[in-house]
Amino acid sequence: MMSDYRIEKDSLGEVRVPANAYYGAQTQRAVDNFPISGMKPYPAFVWSQVMIKRAAAEVNLDLGLLDEKMARAIMKAADEILAGQHLDHFVVDPFQAGAGTSHNMNANEVIANRANEILGYALDSTEKKPVGPNDHVNMAQSTNDTIPTAIRLGALWRLDEVCASLQALADAFRAKAQEWDGIVKSGRTHLQDAVPVRLGQEVGAWAKAIERDIEKLKMAAEGLRRLGIGGTATGSALNAHPEYHSRMVKKLSLLSGLTLYESDDLFESMQSMQDAVFFSSAIRTTAQDLIRIANDIRMLSSGPTTGLDEIRLPAVQPGSSIMPGKVNPVIPEVVNQTNFLVIGLDLTVTLAASAGQLQLNVMEPVITFAL
């Protein structure tokens, strides 16, 4: 009868790992040590990690540092993951030991075991396998340069998606502003009646605010394009080829389709997470605008008998378990709540970034989660 587990070994000894898992001992230890949230890494972050591993294999092959069969197997394994396969083998909790070593080793082990399988070695084979997670998949890399690079790539990958959603919202406001431009109403300052405005002007201002938020997000994202990959453990580029950094940035740009730049100071790129803080602050700015607009919508739709009742929202669900016919502004309410969380996550990024010490910020796992 086939066992549900296989035995893997690391520097601390033997570990029981699920028989069909592509990950190995270090990942299993992380699963056992950090059962914090029950969550798994975001797919965009996994893809970013795996793309770094794929790029590194190709660059190290081109530099004559990695055997071609090993490199091709690593690249094929990575391509499978980037195509959506094996994502269920990325299992470490986002909340984990500092720096993200567990994230990095999860990627190294999954890719190494799948690469060995491609080369003809079964997961439970007792033979010495050619592709190692550290020596080959992680060649010329450290957790300390791959994790901050993956954070940057993941955020950049999601940028267009976020901006497109915000633009759709701005466009919807623009359409309503045109539709309602002939409606004259009282303006209000201090929540008291003020000079007249058109409803179209009021709603058009919401559209403009969102469009400016999009501009700020794109501007703040520019700093994320500067990559410190190749700095390895401390920024000194120890154990990396002199051409590795520049080649990696070019390869990642080619593979991802993103515009990326070389860091002009690998030590600074290792120590500082200010680019993540700046980008997070732009997200926070967007969040506060969404909260403000949602609050306006809630107030303008109040009533219908004793409130302002200037706009009426579509009814999407009953509003009360005790008052028949009551309908609540549930969409603006959930917009408020989700953006309260966004602002809290921005504070998390700020605190984590400020906790960096000397040559490394070890709080990057929570920055990964929050951003």
Answer yes or no: are the C-beta atoms of 73 and 116 closer than 8 Å.
yes
Q: In the structure, what pLDDT confidence band is assigned to residue 98 with cuts at 50, 70 and 90? A: confident
Q: 3-state DSSP: the chain helix, strand, coil percent, rounded to 5?
A: 60, 10, 35
What CATH number belongs to 154-231+259-370?
1.20.200.10
Q: What is the mean pLDDT of residues 47-58?
A: 98
- The span from the CA of 140 to the CA of 239, in Å, is 6
Task: Give me the phi and psi of 265, to 5 degrees please.
Answer: -155, 95
Please check whether the two domains, 16-139 and 154-231+259-370, share a CATH topology. Answer: no
- The span from the CA of 27 to the CA of 266, in Å, is 28
Q: What is the mean pLDDT of residues 71-89?
A: 98
User: Which residue's entry shows tokens 């090993």?
Assistant: 70
User: Nearest-CA neighbor of 152 among 229, 95, 90, 75?
Assistant: 229
- The span from the CA of 180 to the CA of 177, in Å, is 5
Q: Give domain limits for the chain.
A: 16-139, 154-231+259-370
pLDDT value at 131 more than 60: yes
- The span from the CA of 120 to the CA of 101, in Å, is 28
Does the N-terminal peptide bond of residue 324 adopt cis geometry, omega within 30 degrees of 0? Answer: no
CATH tag for 16-139 (out of 1.10.275.10, 3.40.605.10, 3.40.50.300, 1.10.1660.10): 1.10.275.10
- The span from the CA of 324 to the CA of 327, in Å, is 9
Dmax (CA) of the chain: 83
User: Nearest-CA neighbor of 204 among 165, 171, 182?
Assistant: 171
At 214 the three-state DSSP class reads: helix
- The span from the CA of 164 to the CA of 180, in Å, is 24
Contacts of 118 (CB under 8 A, 6+ apart): 73, 76, 77
At 17 the three-state DSSP class reads: strand
- Which tens digits make up the pLDDT trace of 146-201? 999 999 999 999 999 999 999 999 999 999 999 999 999 999 999 999 999 999 99
- The span from the CA of 43 to the CA of 26, in Å, is 20
SS3 sequence of 108-152: HHHHHHHHHHHCCCCCCCCCCCCCCHHHHHCCCCCHHHHHHHHHH
Which tokens in the block code for residue 147?
């994790």
pLDDT value at 1 more than 60: no
- Which tens digits make up the pLDDT trace of 265-282? 999 999 999 999 999 999
Q: In the structure, what pLDDT confidence band is assigned to residue 115 with cuts at 50, 70 and 90? A: very high
Alpha carbon separation from 58 to 178, 238, 256 (Å, rounded) = 53, 19, 14
- The span from the CA of 296 to the CA of 340, in Å, is 16
The number of angstroms, rounded, from the C-alpha of 79 to the middle of its chain's C-alpha atoms is: 20
Active site residues: 320
User: Nearest-CA neighbor of 56 among 120, 185, 150, 123?
Assistant: 150
Task: Give me the phi and psi of 317, to 5 degrees please.
Answer: -165, 155
pLDDT value at 2 more than 80: no
**One-letter identity of residue 345:** L
